[in-house]
């Protein structure tokens, strides 16, 4: 199995918790809604930090000071999302909803991985799906 195909499989597997914790409140009702959405937000913060941390592994040409600083900023925002999830869930959900597409647009302009058409499609689909999960969770609960 080639490396890009493996990334695609892992990417879609990583989407499953987003879908699961978005759908869970619809299955079990309000009993699990807050808990489920908090876990959804925390997972989102972790994934956003992980994606942003990948800027450190970009080739030398793309590893400019600006790109690294933007990566660090998104990682810190992911950490902020995690901190907010317990007591300020609505803000955590809103941040997740907006930051995933913002990071996608940054990465699309700067990342060498976007030279691969399969990876570009993967990131577009996953970013759209993840943002949709946050929007759907937000609209169903708040």
pLDDT in tens, 90-124: 999 999 999 999 999 999 998 888 888 888 899 99
Residue with more model confidence, 73 or 67:
73
Contact 25, 36 (CB under 8 A): yes
Average pLDDT over residues 40-45: 98
Average pLDDT over residues 46-59: 89
Tracing tokens 């991985």 back to the chain, one arrives at 113
Contact 64, 72 (CB under 8 A): no
pLDDT band at 1 (very low <50, low <70, confident <90, very high): low
Tracing tokens 């869930």 back to the chain, one arrives at 89
């Amino acid at each position: 199995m080639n490396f890009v195909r493996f990334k695609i499989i892992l990417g879609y597997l990583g989407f499953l918790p987003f879908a699961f914790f978005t759908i869970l409140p619809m299955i079990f009702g309000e009993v699990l809604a807050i808990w489920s959405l908090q876990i959804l937000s925390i997972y989102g913060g972790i994934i956003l930090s992980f994606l942003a941390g990948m800027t450190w592994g970009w080739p030398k040409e793309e590893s400019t000071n600006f790109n690294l600083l933007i990566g660090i900023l998104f990682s810190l925002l992911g950490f902020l999302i995690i901190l907010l999830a317990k007591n300020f869930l609505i803000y955590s959900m809103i941040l997740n909803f907006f930051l995933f597409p913002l990071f996608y647009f940054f990465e699309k302009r700067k990342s060498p991985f976007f030279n691969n058409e399969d990876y570009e499609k993967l990131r577009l689909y996953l970013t759209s799906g993840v943002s949709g999960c946050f929007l759907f969770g937000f609209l169903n609960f708040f």
